[in-house]
Structure 1
Amino acid sequence: MSEALPPPPEFSRMVKVRPHPPEALTIEASDSERAALAQRFGIAAIDSLVAVARFAEDGANVSVEGTVDAALVQECAVAGDRFPVKVAESFSVRMIPPVRHPTTPDEEIELDEDDLDEIEFDGESFDLGEIVAQTLALAIDPYAEGPNAEAARKEAGIVSDEEPQDGPLADLLRGLKKN
């Protein structure tokens, strides 16, 4: 039985870095790529997604620094209505040649702080689009609140996130605070 192949990336932009990387590159997601990424990230829509990256060689490694600018539409975690969100996020990664990983399951890997920003690549090219997609994913607030969140709380009888105002639980909490 053959293993299922992973789905292709929604936003792929392969960058060839050998013999030399480009100095800078701007990439923009198409309508279909933005729709696929919005579905992947569980948000209503991505209206625009543009990234600018700068490259620098460091021996076999390639440093990539850049910015991601996006216009999203998210659903409010409280009211459920949709609202626009702007994202402006910077990123910095170091592309490195493949590293030998432990062959036994008990062998531990120690990571330094700098190792967390390293991504292995084949030494010839890498997918800048996926770096941008992951940067955007980390910038999305999964509990974003829209402009009607406070009104929805009041309508539901929630005056404070910390303390319910009415009902048996509120009475119990007030009783506990007095003790």
Structure 2
Amino acid sequence: MIQTFQEILRQKKRLIIPLAVLLLLNVTLLLIAGIYQDPLLTTLGTRLTELRGQVAAAGNRDIATVYRQGKTDLETLLQIVPLKRKFPVVLGEIMEAAHNEGVATGNVTYKPSAVKDENLFSYNITMTVSGNYAELKSFIANLQQIRQLVVVDQIAMSNTNPFAESINMELRLTVYLREGA
């Protein structure tokens, strides 16, 4: 019996060694899954259940609490909206963001308008800029970092020369400002 086993081992060595390696790998992965992943999955499942419970509890708050939280959020939002007279400062920050990224600015037009039923004023800004794609992408990212309430409404990109990396972009923004002294 032992001789037969040794004979099979000698003849099928090329097949048995990979099978033994695969068996060892399978056992190792099974141990890792049992020792490491199962407790982690249990912990994460418990955390998910807790978070779902918190979300459900938040939905069950009374109307007065929701109203107070909404008013607090609106007051916080209004604090970051600058006064109407600060428009040149906000426009300067937008232009500085373009300059810092090496983007060439073209025409800049703006149109003021009042926001109905609110003590807010908005400027619709249309500007053309040009540069390579990375510069334009960084410029848009920098616009999102401006502390004031600047909304990117529309972006239109064009490239008249497919062999040049220069891209023209028309950008439409809305800047919200507060009425006041």
Same fold by TM-score greater than 0.5 = no
Between Structure 1 and Structure 2, the one with more helix by share is 2
TM-score for both structures, normalised by structure 2? 0.26
